[in-house]
Amino acid sequence: MAISLMVNGQSRSFEIEADTPLLWVIRDELGLKGTKFGCGAALCGACTVHLNGTPIRSCSTPVSAVEGQEITTIEGISGSTTLHKLQQAWVDHGVPQCGYCQSGQLMTAAHLLSYNAAPTEDEIAAAMSGNICRCGTYSNMVAAIQSVAGSQGEA
C-alpha cells in the first residue's frame, strides 16, 4: 500500500506492505540507520522512536498503524539544533560502550524529560527500565539524564 509519514519533520511517501514493521521502513526504506534492531518483540527498546512525541517500539509497530503521523528518530531528536542536550550529556558522561542500544535509550530519556523536567533517580530508572543495555551503562546514563535535568532547571 501507499504510505505517507512525517519523519523528522519531513513528509515521506513510499509503497510497502501494510504489516511491515516501522523499524524496517525507517532503516531500509528511509535509510535512517540510527534506529536499531535488537529483539523484534518490543522487549529491549533498541528500536525506540517517537510517535507524535511518545516512545514506541518500532520493531513491533506495523507501518500502516502510523500512517500520516509524526515519527521522530535519533537523527531528528535534536530538532533544529545540532545536538540534543541529552546527546551532549551522553558524550560528556561517556555513556556509550558498544553503543548499539543508545539511540533507543536517548529517545526514551528525551521523552522522560519532556513531561518531567526534574525526575528523581527512581523515576529515571523506572522510565528507562524498558531499554536494555547489555554493556551495563545504566549508571552513567542516569547521571547524564540528571545533569540535563539540573541544567534545564537553571535555564
Please list, in sequence order, all residues whose beta carbon lies within 8 angstroms of the beta carbon of residue 115, skipping any fewer than 6 positions away: none
The pair phi, psi for residue 133, each rounded to 5°, is -125, 110
Which of these ranges, 6-14, 64-72, 111-119, 123-131, lies near other proteins under the rule CB under 8 A?
A: 123-131
Which of these ranges, 2-10, 12-20, 111-119, 147-155, lies near other proteins under the rule CB under 8 A?
A: 12-20
The pair phi, psi for residue 19, each rounded to 5°, is -90, 5
Inter-CA distances, 79 with 17, 44, 56, Å: 29, 25, 19
Q: How far is the CB of 102 from other proteins (least distance, A)?
A: 6
Q: Are 70 and 49 in contact (CB under 8 A)?
A: no
Q: Looking at beta carbons only, is 35 or 50 nearer to other proteins?
A: 35
Q: Does 40 bind other proteins (CB under 8 A)?
A: yes
The full length of the chain comes to 155
Q: Does 67 bind other proteins (CB under 8 A)?
A: no
Binding residues for other proteins, per CB under 8 A? 17, 19-21, 24, 27-28, 31-41, 43-44, 46, 73-75, 83, 87, 90-92, 94-103, 106, 122, 124-126, 128-142
